Structure 1
Amino acid sequence: MTLAVVTLAAGKGSRMKSDLPKVLHKLAGKPMLDHVLTAAQTLGEATQHVVIGHGAEEVRKAFPDAELKWAIQAEQKGTGHAVAQALPDIADDALVLVLYGDVPLIKPTTLSALVDAAQNALALLTVTLDDPTGYGRIVRNDEGAVQAIVEHKDATDAQRQIREVNTGIMALPARFLKVWLPKLSADNAQGEYYLTDVIAMAVSDNVPVTALHPASETEVEGVNDRRQLAALERVFQCQIADELMAQGVALADPSRIDVRGTLKVGRNVSIDVGCVFEGDVELGDDVQVGAYNVIRNSRIGQGVSIETFCHIEEAVVAQACNVGPYARLRPGADLADGARVGNFCEVKKSQIGKGSKVNHLTYIGDATIGEGANIGAGTITCNYDGVNKFRTEIGDGAFIGSNSALVAPVVIGDGATVAAGSTVTKDVGSEELAVARGKQRNIGGWKKPTKD
């Protein structure tokens, strides 16, 4: 039996107080809908259908490369009506799994169990809440079998005492849906076509109804406002923190780490508070990450120490390097073993050779620095003429004095020295000393400016 996953993502989300469609609001750096689709992808060969409405084109554009079948719900007439929009593209012999684009923490293991239970039956996820206000109640008979789901607004006082509630997530054969959905009625308090009404239809047609339960309530919590989104963000980040610590990572405070992508770690990694990891990040063995660093799409090698308040993006840092504090490695920064980039330095699209040092207040852009070079404080590579970018090459063992400006394109040879304060516009040969600064004049009798 083929699997068709139908994710409902047509809601406006007015309580988010935003023009952005609700399912595109981000949790851990990616849209909530993305989390749901990723969980569904783990189920193997499945066709993914997404029902969109409010902000439909914006939702489409957010997933340009995904293999999705889109269905439009032009009018918001309830969950049953929403699923019906996708049904024409689903084969009669398929199994349908219904998910929600604003329920981002659903786990693949839970979905797999639900699908397994629905081969010739209707399987739904329920959860027991201390406060079930607002949720549809699971009505069971004396033998404990599920009979129906009654929405809160339509429930009697006795039914509102029931604490087991519907999550909305269910799986069932498409052939049943194609019979039951046309029979739905909007004669209820909301004036909508409830998907949950198919439960009573299943009971009436002697189709087995099985209720399963997620491992945690948070798996099935939906997002209606900013507070709920923030709460689920913390839940998700705490789960990641637990996984990292299980792998041996030392977290100074598990409640103060944010992973917005994939973080791979080696042995004996230490991460201080306030760090943010975005995209795909890899930390090698014995990496020490100081407080309040942002690392995005980068590889950090074994034994690297990253001091506080650094920003590292699309960079490669080899073994035993030291970075920061307050350093910025921009895309294309590539540090060889033992390189050092210190405080208030910026490196962009440049290679820093083995053991070379860029220690203070320096900009290195579009440059190649050899091994064992020393770049003095305040040095800049002048790589841009207002139109084009040019490269600077600095050889092995070169010494660049403080406050030097290297005007690209320029080559500084192996072992060369550039005197402090020089503006270098011509190549410097190996072992040469370049002095490129104006002659000092001392003027006697000069009067300092005074206030009027």
Structure 2
Amino acid sequence: MTNRYAVVLAAGQGTRMKSKLYKVLHPVMGKPMVQHVVDQLNSLALEKVITVVGYGADKVQDVLGEESHFVLQKEQLGTGHAVLQAEELLKDQEGTTIVVCGDTPLLTAETLEALLDHHDNEKAKATVLTAKAPDPTGYGRVVRNNINTVERIVEHKDANEQELTIDEINTGTYCFDNKALFEALQQVSNNNAQGEYYLPDVIEILKQDNEKIGAFQIMNMDETIGVNDRVALAQAEKLMKKRINEQHMRNGVTIIDPDHTYIAPNVQIASDVVIEPGCVLKGETSIGSDAVIGPYTEISDCVIGSETVIRQSVAKNSDIGDRVQIGPFAHIRPEAKIADEVKIGNFVEIKKSTLDQNSKVSHLSYIGDAEVGKRVNIGCGTITVNYDGENKYLTKIEDDAFVGCNSNLIAPVTIGKGAYVAAGSTINKEVPEEALSIARARQTNKEDYVKKIKNGNKE
């Protein structure tokens, strides 16, 4: 197999997006468009991926990092001019170069691999990825000759009436013999309606030199959508969501309502998980088998164990064990570590805390900056008072402790193993093992108080 290279075109401003965010950085399913493209290319056996940057160059390089080489197109003078910026890195290389637009996030590695293989098998100097378009308006047309080979590609604005009737369109993705590409680019002119150097003109130049031009027609045009405005962005988001959800369902995940379930590209879900309506799963989340997620749960960058149930809750950047019960309406904030068979009930907030096996925080509590042992029961309305206005402090609740309802634990403080804290207590000193701590005001009853104030006597 010949050496293979890729050039990603990501230099255009994208004015139709009407956004301060550079076009190829607009996210589709939580990931920038250009990142989708480069990820797919990097899953192929390529020698080098080169991204052509222009507007927002620094930000694109920050996103892609070491996943790509970069060249700068200082002036946006067309796609041919953009590819030419990679000349110094590629012109002397033997092999095949694939050119892909950075605003085509739906292209798959399978399609790109098939295009490369077709190009190599046909021994073509150039191969165009084409598709049949129900409405080809705005697309370059693929003009074939009387023996059905590619004659040229004409841009919509430069097409005549007959050419405008053609429904086979250029998707903007190509394969070229690398040396032939850069030799032909030297001959491309800007004698057209836009005054730009078009990459498709390379096809005609190679054709005039009697070189073989191929075409590989993709069956699903949706995969080739280029995102130029917010309407196309929403369309790409919808198609990507459908693709991701269908893949999970084919892998054994039950998604009750796929149209209203959002699963980001890097989320991993084991078989026999049930995802109920309205869920949003983002980032590097992974979910173990037989878990139930939802409804209306949002999870970001979490590890979730098997048989865990989370309902109507939010969890972020945390580790959650097996057979855990969370929700409804719980908030698991970053850096929580929740061990197996823990129960987190309704209106409970957990932040940067560890809860060991079989412990329970059943309702209406805040547990922040805490270490909670095994089999601990934390009553309703308990608060770990972790912040003094300047610093955060640790609360430790050891194994088998029982914290009564409406207790304030003023950190730093330790509740010893097996200790009890009476309901309504404010604890600011260590509670020894197996002790009962009562820290509340003594109850005082004033007889006939109501009768006196009604008679105007407020003594």
Q: Return the TM-score normalized by structure 1.
A: 0.95
Equivalent position to 1:317, from 315, 320, 340: 320
Q: C-alpha distance in 2, partners of 1:231/1:178?
A: 35
Equivalent position to 1:434, from 418, 425, 437: 437
Deviations 1:408-433 (A, max 9, x none): 11111122111111110111111111
CA apart distance, 1:343:
0.7
SS of the equivalent of 1:377 reads: coil
The one-letter code of the counterpart of 2:194 is Q
- Residue in 2 that maps onto 1:406: 409
Equivalent position to 2:375, from 357, 367, 372: 372
SS of the equivalent of 1:211 reads: strand
- Where do 5+ consecutive residues of structure 1 fail to align? none
Equivalent position to 2:419, from 416, 421, 441: 416
Q: C-alpha distance in 1, partners of 2:356/2:453?
A: 48
- Residue in 1 that maps onto 2:251: 247
Structure 1 residues 261 and 408, CA, compared in 2 at 3 Å: closer, same or farther?
farther
Contact 1:126 1:164 in 2 (8 A): yes
CA apart distance, 1:442:
3.2
Contact 1:118 1:173 in 2 (8 A): no
Q: How does 1:92-171 map to 2 (within 5 A)?
A: 92=92, 93-119=94-120, 120-121=123-124, 122-171=126-175
CA apart distance, 1:94:
3.8
Q: C-alpha distance in 2, partners of 1:136/1:370?
A: 66
- Residue in 2 that maps onto 1:17: 18
Q: C-alpha distance in 1, partners of 2:50/2:118?
A: 21
SS of the equivalent of 1:131 reads: coil
- Residue in 2 that maps onto 1:77: 77
Contact 2:291 2:309 in 1 (8 A): yes
The one-letter code of the counterpart of 2:60 is V
SS of the equivalent of 1:325 reads: coil
Deviations 1:249-280 (A, max 9, x none): 11111111112242222232111111111111
CA apart distance, 1:14:
1.0
Deviations 1:3-57 (A, max 9, x none): 2211111111111110111000000101000000001101123211111111222
Alpha carbon RMSD of aligned pairs, Å?
1.6
Over the matched positions of the two proteins, sequence identity in percent amounts to 43
Contact 2:50 2:70 in 1 (8 A): yes
The one-letter code of the counterpart of 1:216 is N
Equivalent position to 2:333, from 330, 333, 352: 330
Q: Return the TM-score normalized by structure 2.
A: 0.94
SS of the equivalent of 1:20 reads: coil
Structure 1 residues 345 and 429, CA, compared in 2 at 3 Å: closer, same or farther?
same
Q: C-alpha distance in 2, partners of 1:163/1:336?
A: 58
Q: C-alpha distance in 1, partners of 2:182/2:145?
A: 27
Q: C-alpha distance in 1, partners of 2:318/2:383?
A: 20
Q: How does 1:14-413 map to 2 (within 5 A)?
A: 14-63=15-64, 65-92=65-92, 93-119=94-120, 120-121=123-124, 122-308=126-312, 310-413=313-416
Contact 1:373 1:397 in 2 (8 A): yes
